[in-house]
Amino acid sequence: MAEQKSYHMSPEDFRRHGREVIDWIADYHENVERYPVLSRVRPGEIADSLDTEVPARGEAFDQILRDATERILPGLTHWQSPGFHAYFPSNASGPAILGELLAAGLGVQGMLWSTSPACTEVEMRVLDMLADLLGLPDAYRSSGSGGGVIQDSASSAVLCALVAARERDSRLLTNREGCDGTQVAYCSGEAHSSLEKAMGVAGLGRAKLRKIAVDGCFALDPASLAAEVEADRARGLRPIFACATLGTTSSNALDPLAAVGRICRDEGLWLHVDAAMSGAAALCPEYRYLHDGVEHADSYCFNPHKWMFTNFDCSCLWVADRRALTGALSILPEYLVNEATEAGQVVDYRDWQVPLGRRFRALKLWFVLRYYGVEGLRHHIRRHIELAGRLAGWIEADPHFELAAPAPLNLVCFRHRGSDRLNERILKEINGTGEVFLTHTRLDGRFCMRLSVGQARTEAEHVERAWQLIAQAAERLRKSAT
Ligand SMILES: Cc1ncc(COP(=O)(O)O)c(C=O)c1O
């Protein structure tokens, strides 16, 4: 019999190369501080260095891995560097990476319970445990009326919540017939852009998202929300949804959840809590106050892929009433019909999200929770908050600088007193050193620098160094101006 031809990697080669790749990743993490945090390539440079055609014959894996080192690494901004203080935390960890690898190795599709029961049941258990740890309402447990699901992103989570709210309001008519243009939603002017995007994608219309005024701390003003809802009702519109943000992207503002919740309850609005950036703080009892009022929420989202040592993507969404979500998103073609679904005994997560297919994301989360334990998670979250607090203290004590917003958790927004131009130049100069990467925002119309403390290996020395670089750059620029 002729030998069967195969181009697959043999198990022996997989073992060998697998070890090489793990070593590669371990070396990368160990040495990540050697690289400039913000990539220095010019647009097109990486693309120009790559082949333009697929090779006719497969290449040696060693060569492919070498190219990853030589051609890809220079084009990376090093998010796992302890000097990464930009945007928001997006941290990874050993157990998460290994859980991700295992999920890839298993290659299962968890769209239905029956397509891999463990994929669904681990996810349910992990989200129940996390709900306990975050002090979320009993209804969010799988044993209650709701439950949790892992989405790819907080953007998808808010889209699903919005669609559920839309259908709860229209009693599934919108799903069938389309939107009638009367449904409106609310968030603060500081809420994340994913809300506006979701309004467009859900067919509700971006213009039907009311951006409510904020107070001096950039948090939603409940009185303005109540007034807007009333005004919309007077116009014959249907207020259906509001989002309270716990930790805005720009400045980490905390919307007054209890007050917003009471308005939503009285007005019959679906309340979504976007805790994508800062919800992880509630793992620590002393920050559980963040969740005061969460009992009013119909849905709640936070991102382990931001600040809980779980590599992207992993965004947890809980709903208080799972039927509202699945009623809006469920669709069952013949080829997916199976006994377990028909018997109504199982959760089919395809009904809890936009895509049909789904990865075994719960595995990496399960690994993280078990490896760190409650103690480990709290330790690192507390440490980040403490370090951010120290930085805020140094800024307040320096007559040249000022805080631009309260720094309740792990993000510090600040500016050098004086012009926007000076602040822009400081930022450019410190990012140019390659040792740190910070980004900016605009608060009260003024350009501000933001320093987020949340990468897995960020320690006191890194925050101290960042502040030193900032202060030195400022001094140099002040001198050069005189
Ligand atoms: C408050 C907030 N909400 C939502 C998002 C969107 O997150 P994702 O990238 O998971 O869609 C972000 C990301 O920065 C955020 O900070």
Q: What's the 350 CA to ligand 1 centre distance in angstroms?
A: 22
Mutate which of 194, 196, 312, 450 to test ligand 1's pocket (most atoms within 8 Å of Cβ)? 194
**Is 88 a pocket residue for ligand 1 (Cβ < 6 Å)?**
yes
What is the predicted pLDDT for the residue at 296? 97
Is 90 exceeded by the pLDDT of residue 482?
Answer: no
Q: What's the 154 CA to ligand 1 centre distance in angstroms?
A: 5
**Is 153 a pocket residue for ligand 1 (Cβ < 6 Å)?**
yes
Q: Tell me the pLDDT band of 351, cut-offs 50, 70 and 90.
A: very high
Q: What is the pLDDT of residues 65-120, one digit of tens each?
A: 999 999 999 999 999 999 999 999 999 999 999 999 999 999 999 999 999 999 99
Q: What is the pLDDT of residues 156-173, one digit of tens each?
A: 999 999 999 999 999 999
Instruction: Spell 422-451 as b/e; 16+ CB within 10 A means b.
Output: bbebbbebbbebbbbbbebbebeeebbbbb
Angstrom distance (rounded) from CA 213 to CA 158: 21
Angstrom distance (rounded) from CA 343 to CA 340: 5
Q: Taking residues 447-472, report their average pLDDT.
A: 97
Is 70 exceeded by the pLDDT of residue 146?
Answer: yes
Q: Taking residues 197-215, report their average pLDDT.
A: 98
**Is 303 a pocket residue for ligand 1 (Cβ < 6 Å)?**
yes
Q: Output the pTM of the full model.
A: 0.96
Is 90 exceeded by the pLDDT of residue 481?
Answer: no
DSSP 8-state class, residue 183: E
Q: Which atom of ligand 1 is nearest to the CA of 278?
A: 1
Angstrom distance (rounded) from CA 149 to CA 96: 18
Q: What's the 65 CA to ligand 1 centre distance in angstroms?
A: 32
**Is 274 a pocket residue for ligand 1 (Cβ < 6 Å)?**
yes
Residue nearest to atom 16 of ligand 1 (CA): 249
Is 70 exceeded by the pLDDT of residue 123?
Answer: yes
Residue with tokens 């945007």: 87
Instruction: Give the angle 217-219-225 at the CA atoms, nearest 5°.
Output: 140
What percent of the chain stands above pLDDT 90?
97
As given in the structure block, the two tokens for residue 121 are 């049941």
If you average pLDDT over every residue of the chain, what do you get?
A: 96
Q: Provide the 3-class DSSP secondary structure of residue 358.
A: coil
What is the predicted pLDDT for the residue at 196? 98
**Is 250 a pocket residue for ligand 1 (Cβ < 6 Å)?**
no
Q: Taking residues 376-402, report their average pLDDT.
A: 98
Mutate which of 149, 155, 439, 441 to test ligand 1's pocket (most atoms within 8 Å of Cβ)? 155
Q: Tell me the pLDDT band of 3, cut-offs 50, 70 and 90.
A: confident
What percent of the chain stands above pLDDT 70?
100
Q: Which atom of ligand 1 is nearest to the CA of 249?
A: 16
**Is 154 a pocket residue for ligand 1 (Cβ < 6 Å)?**
yes
What is the predicted pLDDT for the residue at 385? 98
Q: Taking residues 341-352, report their average pLDDT.
A: 94
For domain 368-481, the CATH architecture is: Alpha-Beta Complex (3.90)
Q: Taking residues 217-235, report their average pLDDT.
A: 98
Q: What's the 105 CA to ligand 1 centre distance in angstroms?
A: 28
Domain coordinates of the chain in residue numbers? 108-359, 368-481
Mutate which of 306, 308, 315, 316 to test ligand 1's pocket (most atoms within 8 Å of Cβ)? 306
Q: What's the 52 CA to ligand 1 centre distance in angstroms?
A: 34
Q: Which atom of ligand 1 is nearest to the CA of 306?
A: 10
Q: What is the pLDDT of residues 280-329, one digit of tens each?
A: 999 999 999 999 999 999 999 999 999 999 999 999 999 999 999 999 99
As given in the structure block, the two tokens for residue 244 are 């309270």
Q: What's the 320 CA to ligand 1 centre distance in angstroms?
A: 21
Asked if omega into 313 is within 30° of 0 (cis), the reply is yes
**Is 277 a pocket residue for ligand 1 (Cβ < 6 Å)?**
yes
Angstrom distance (rounded) from CA 42 to CA 165: 44
**Is 192 a pocket residue for ligand 1 (Cβ < 6 Å)?**
yes
Mutate which of 90, 156, 192 to test ligand 1's pocket (most atoms within 8 Å of Cβ)? 192
Residue nearest to atom 14 of ligand 1 (CA): 249
Q: Choose among 61, 64, 62, 55: nearest CA to 9.
A: 61
Strand 209-212 relative to strand 183-188, pairing: parallel
Q: With beta carbons less than 8 A apart as the criterion, state whether 76 and 35 touch.
A: yes
Q: Which atom of ligand 1 is nearest to the CA of 248?
A: 1
Q: Which atom of ligand 1 is nearest to the CA of 312?
A: 10
Q: What's the 253 CA to ligand 1 centre distance in angstroms?
A: 14
CATH pick for 108-359 out of 3.40.640.10, 3.30.70.1280, 1.10.287.980, 3.40.50.1820: 3.40.640.10
Residues in Cβ contact with 103 at an 8 Å cutoff, skipping those fewer than 6 apart: 359, 360, 361, 363, 364
What is the predicted pLDDT for the residue at 2? 64
Mutate which of 303, 317, 354, 450 to test ligand 1's pocket (most atoms within 8 Å of Cβ)? 303
Is 90 exceeded by the pLDDT of residue 233?
Answer: yes
Q: Which atom of ligand 1 is nearest to the CA of 158?
A: 4
What is the predicted pLDDT for the residue at 1? 60
Q: What's the 335 CA to ligand 1 centre distance in angstroms?
A: 35
Residue with tokens 């936009």: 354
